[in-house]
Amino acid sequence: MPKIKNARIFNGESFVPVSALRYENGVIAEMYESCDDADALDAQGQILCPGFVDLHIHGSFGKDVLEPGGTAHLRENLPSVGTTSFCPTNATDTFEHIHSFLREVAEEMPRQEGSRILGAHIEGPFFALDNRGAHAIPLLQDPTLQNYKKMAGEYEGVIVRVSLAPEKRGGMELISYLAQKGVVVSAAHTDSMAKEMEEAISKGISIATHTFNGFYPVHHRQENSIAVVLTDDRITCEFIPDLQHINVYAARLIMKAKGFEKTFICSDALEPSQQGDGIYSLAGSKVIVRDSVARLEDGRLAGSTICILQGVRNLVNIMKIPLCKALRLGTYNPANAIGNSSIGRIAVGAQADFLLLSEDLQLMQTYIRGKLEYSRA
């Protein structure tokens, strides 16, 4: 039975007074205060934490999920940055291209190698005009139930999260439909005002996608919807911890308003992530990466180039967030946001998806389904 000993174990919420665990058939079977088994892997005091959960990632390692093979490419490569579970996420494109993306997600989800695919996150084309961000104007669509079904076709079942602008025609009806189906619905790239967001939350919206980005800003006289998502306890706020999409103070505001329990981080990574500066594309639009910041030709931000691990380092090293809080935002909280209690935690009965990290947060090993998927040379 595989065992690991002498680890500093973070269970998803806090560091715990155990130092060893045993896993079997891809599941954590036992946890121990100590272990003297000579056959156990000696972690030598390294941090053992849940694998990172990324609910919002468009690409990395030179491929986008809208490209053929893009989801498989992420599944194969994400273990090298500690992301053990993810939702491949499309950008706004034609229904035909998104349908092809969903087909690949359906084909890749059963695979037992590489990172775990949780299901698709639809981010586009159901967005508003003003706060569309990098999403292409000619491809934007109303979030009607008819449009959704046309886009998803026979692959509705692989969609676990949908980001949309609730105030658009058909939005409220689609939110209700998705919530009844158990799909997590997020407010995103929205021109909504406060009353519209309140109605959307009552219909079933539970997440704010990359909070502050894709919303009208906070204003003390205008009743913009960003104030609603920050103050309504039914909403969990996602944010991008690259400290480019939001600054340190905005990130602190999110965590202060929501508490660490109702906040999580995502990468919102694009094809250039882990690749370096250069010229890339996003759903047909040119993306220029300079100094690791991705922008369209007109200067608008276009996703990030980080991974969750880099985001955790930013929270700890730049924002001075306690390590246990930063790790929680990339593990336990995103898993909870989609109602998945089998990942994002170290506990008996949970999936054996975990990392070994050095004290300075270098990734040493990645285990998924109890199998070693990455080891630092």
Report pLDDT for 300. Answer: 85
What band does 3 get if pLDDT is binned at 50, 70 and 90? very high
Q: What percent of the chain has pLDDT over 70?
A: 100
Report pLDDT for 284. Answer: 73
| Main-chain phi, psi angles of 107, to 5 degrees | -70, -35
Q: Running DSSP on this structure, what letter comes out for residue 272?
A: T
Q: Running DSSP on this structure, what letter comes out for residue 193?
A: B
Q: Which two three-digit tokens encode residue 111?
A: 């695979």
The architecture of the domain spanning 52-337 is Alpha-Beta Barrel (3.20)
3-state secondary structure of 138: helix
Top-confidence residue, 181 or 131: 181
Q: Which amino acid is at 98?
A: I
Report pLDDT for 122. Answer: 98
> pLDDT, tens digit, for every residue of 54-87?
999 999 999 999 999 999 999 999 999 999 999 9
Report pLDDT for 258. Answer: 97
Q: Which two three-digit tokens encode residue 358?
A: 């050095």
Residue span(s) of the chain under CATH 2.30.40.10 come to: 3-47+350-375
Averaged pLDDT for residues 16-21: 96
Report pLDDT for 134. Answer: 83
Averaged pLDDT for residues 246-254: 97
Report pLDDT for 310. Answer: 97
The whole-angstrom separation of Cα 242 and Cα 251 is: 10
Q: Looking at the predicted structure, is the pLDDT value of residue 306 above 90?
A: yes
The whole-angstrom separation of Cα 102 and Cα 221 is: 42
Report pLDDT for 230. Answer: 98
- List, in order, residues 6 or more apart from 254 with CB less than 8 Å away: 211, 212, 230, 237, 239, 246, 263
Residue span(s) of the chain under CATH 3.20.20.140 come to: 52-337
Q: What percent of the chain has pLDDT over 90?
A: 88
Compute the CA torsion angle 314, 320, 325, 330 (nearest 10 deg): 0
What band does 376 get if pLDDT is binned at 50, 70 and 90? very high
Nearest to 118 by CA among 282, 372, 341, 365: 341
User: 289 forms bridges with which residues in the sheet?
Assistant: 278, 294
Asked if residue 268 lies in contact with residue 303, where contact means CB atoms within 8 angstroms, the answer is: yes
Top-confidence residue, 357 or 275: 357
Averaged pLDDT for residues 180-205: 98
> pLDDT, tens digit, for every residue of 118-161?
999 999 999 999 989 888 899 999 999 999 999 999 999 999 99
Averaged pLDDT for residues 213-223: 93
Domain topology for 3-47+350-375: Urease, subunit C; domain 1 (2.30.40)
The whole-angstrom separation of Cα 81 and Cα 233 is: 32
The whole-angstrom separation of Cα 254 and Cα 337 is: 16
Q: Which two three-digit tokens encode residue 182?
A: 């158990």
Q: Looking at the predicted structure, is the pLDDT value of residue 212 above 90?
A: yes
The whole-angstrom separation of Cα 89 and Cα 45 is: 36
Report pLDDT for 280. Answer: 87
Q: Looking at the predicted structure, is the pLDDT value of residue 199 above 90?
A: yes
What band does 281 get if pLDDT is binned at 50, 70 and 90? confident
R_g of the chain computed on alpha carbons: 20
Mean pLDDT of the residues in the chain: 96
What band does 176 get if pLDDT is binned at 50, 70 and 90? very high
- List, in order, residues 6 or more apart from 344 with CB less than 8 Å away: 12, 50, 51, 53, 85, 331, 332, 333, 334, 335, 336
